[in-house]
Structure 1
């Protein structure tokens, strides 16, 4: 690898700090969600998206939570078995499956959300000043938008099997 291909020390340090912070935050959030709601982080993301919209297609959910189609189908099946969502055909598009959050799913989100907010506030926001929060929000929005400029995973062609 040539020097042109390598990250310079500031980039490498920033990358590792970001990845470690994300891992630490995600671990703490997952512990809280398991303890208070017996949910995985992905299941919470699905329910939180549905709590806001009430009903989404599987494709909209996959794009919103950045998760594989097969993994999403499996997670939606677990949530359906637990009575937290229902799945059915879309009246507008016979190829689409609609996922709807149930009253039980809404209640579970309402039960775990206060603890989730507490963990996020304590670990992510408490060490930041108002200016830091603005700067971080601006930076992460630009990074996210840059990454999302690529076609969504649900629209990407599947790789042929060898």
Structure 2
């Protein structure tokens, strides 16, 4: 049985996390909009495509990893495609799926916004911490993230892929 409410330590940790998340999110949004006319979600889409081995990802896989709805991702992908930063093509594996690909203009936009993005993250999140703090924070947040992803919402759930056993 879970106990009702949160004690002072639990509330303190929860509110500190929410405040840090909100303040960092706001600063990142401002920087991305001013440096590259991007939202944080659009930046995350472009970065995931940049990190992909061939610069391409299936939209369903991308939605799952970013924890966004498929309709929200479709809308954002449409805006990015209209801006010439990505392409959308039918997936070669499954004609029902769509693959997003990063364009040269998308790579240029990332290159334009990334230095300022790193500065914001460094100044607001990383500079106040020691190396030991960083390791502890990464360990704690990884544990919480893994716990949350163990029973994710549909948009964060990994889909079982059908394998062709030949």
TM-score by length of 2: 0.89
Deviation at 1:154, TM superposition (A): 3.4
What pairs up with 1:1-162 in 2 under 5 angstroms?
Answer: 4-53=3-52, 54-151=55-152, 153-154=154-155
Counterparts of 2:114 and 2:107, CA distance in 1: 10
- Note the residue ranges of structure 1 that are not aligned, 5 or more in a row: 157-162
* 3-state SS, counterpart of residue 89 of structure 2: strand
* Aligned residue-pair number: 154
**Residue-by-residue CA offset, 1:18-64 (whole Å, 9 max, x unaligned):** 00000000100000000000000000000010111110001111012
Deviation at 1:151, TM superposition (A): 4.3
* 3-state SS, counterpart of residue 93 of structure 2: coil
1:76–1:85 contact (8 Å) kept in structure 2: yes
Counterparts of 1:6 and 1:107, CA distance in 2: 48
1:57–1:98 contact (8 Å) kept in structure 2: yes
4+ residue stretches of structure 1 with deviation over 6 A? Answer: none
* 3-state SS, counterpart of residue 87 of structure 1: strand
Counterparts of 1:124 and 1:112, CA distance in 2: 18
* 3-state SS, counterpart of residue 39 of structure 1: coil
* Residue 160 (structure 1) aligns with: none
2:149–2:156 contact (8 Å) kept in structure 1: no
